[in-house]
Copies of this chain bind each other. A is one copy, B any other.
Amino acid sequence: MNPVSSNSNNSGAPSGSGAGGNGTGGSPTFSPLYQQIKALITQSLQSGEWKPGEMIPSEVELAGRFKVSQGTVRKAIDELAAENLVMRRQGKGTFVSTHHEARAHFRFLRLMPDEGVPHHPDNKIIEVKRMRAPAEVARLLDLKSGDAVVYIKRVQSFEGAPTILEELWLPGLLFKGLTAERLVEYKGPMYGLFESEFGTRMIRATEKIRAVAADASAAEFLHVLEGTPLLCAERVSFTYGDKAVELRRGLYLTSQHHYQNELS
């Protein structure tokens, strides 16, 4: 239970040479105590010991469990909160983040209406199938070419206007029971489904954005002329441990919407 007893300097004693037995085994990995605590907490999040939406143990309790001061636990949790893995609520506790929240939606859905308030999209599933990963998909998802993947194609509409044409590729091993029926009947963001039903939580993502011309197929789905400029966002999403678990290629019609970004 005790974290790596590296430069142990605990207990009021003035200390000098560590009483914890250091300098022996000698794995070359040193890191601050709070980083070790953070890693331990992250493990519990990843293993599902504390599920999305649930409260994690209080700072005082974790401090006792890990045999460190509350301040050290606090710094660990501070970083986890900054990374949106947990959310702190004064007077209540610290809770595991979940995609079943309005706040999380807009972290990953950056398309905003030019005027008016954001609406939730209507989803229409076009296609769901299992297939072998093409080389490019395999490379981005860190799979072997030919490994099983789930392919999803859908259109999202705002106020009745088709606006997003999206294709997704998911590792087949992680999404065994994913069917078109389940996708269709599920209301809410897809990441919520992934989190609840498949235990895979998206933590962060990288996107590469380009402008492209609508081909015949895209033009039909989005009700525009072939050649219409579309915004193309290629996203790779990661879960705990920086493991890639989703490839998504979205085509956005940006005549009434824009991709909102903050630079800081």
Chain A residues at the B interface, C-beta cutoff of 8 Å: 82-84, 107-108, 110, 112, 203-213, 227, 229-232, 235, 252, 254, 258-264
Cβ of A117 to closest chain B Cβ, rounded Å: 16
B211 and A231 contact, CB distance less than 8 A: yes
Q: Which residue of B lies closest to A233 (CB)?
A: B261
From B110, B206, B262, A260 is in contact (CB under 8 Å) with B206
Count of identical protomers in the assembly: 2
Cβ of A7 to closest chain B Cβ, rounded Å: 16
A230 and B231 contact, CB distance less than 8 A: no
- Further pairs besides A107-B263, A108-B263, A209-B231: 4, Cβ < 8 Å: A83-B264, A110-B263, A205-B264, A211-B229
- What are 22 contact pairs spanning A and B, CB under 8 A? A82-B82, A83-B264, A84-B264, A107-B264, A110-B263, A203-B264, A204-B264, A205-B263, A206-B261, A207-B260, A207-B262, A209-B231, A209-B259, A209-B260, A210-B231, A210-B258, A211-B211, A211-B231, A211-B232, A211-B254, A229-B229, A261-B261
3 smallest CB-CB distances across A and B, nearest first, come from A229-B229, A211-B229, A210-B254
Give Cα distance in the complex from A204 to B263, angstroms: 6
Q: Which residue of B lies closest to A254 (CB)?
A: B210
Q: Which residue of B lies closest to A110 (CB)?
A: B263
On chain B, the residues within 8 Å of A263 by CB distance are: 107-108, 110, 204-207, 235
Cβ of A3 to closest chain B Cβ, rounded Å: 22
Q: Which residue of B lies closest to A262 (CB)?
A: B206
A209 and B207 contact, CB distance less than 8 A: no
Cβ of A252 to closest chain B Cβ, rounded Å: 7
Give Cα distance in the complex from A231 to B259, angstroms: 11
Give Cα distance in the complex from A208 to B260, angstroms: 5
Give Cα distance in the complex from A250 to B237, angstroms: 28
Give Cα distance in the complex from A15 to B206, angstroms: 51
B208 and A258 contact, CB distance less than 8 A: yes
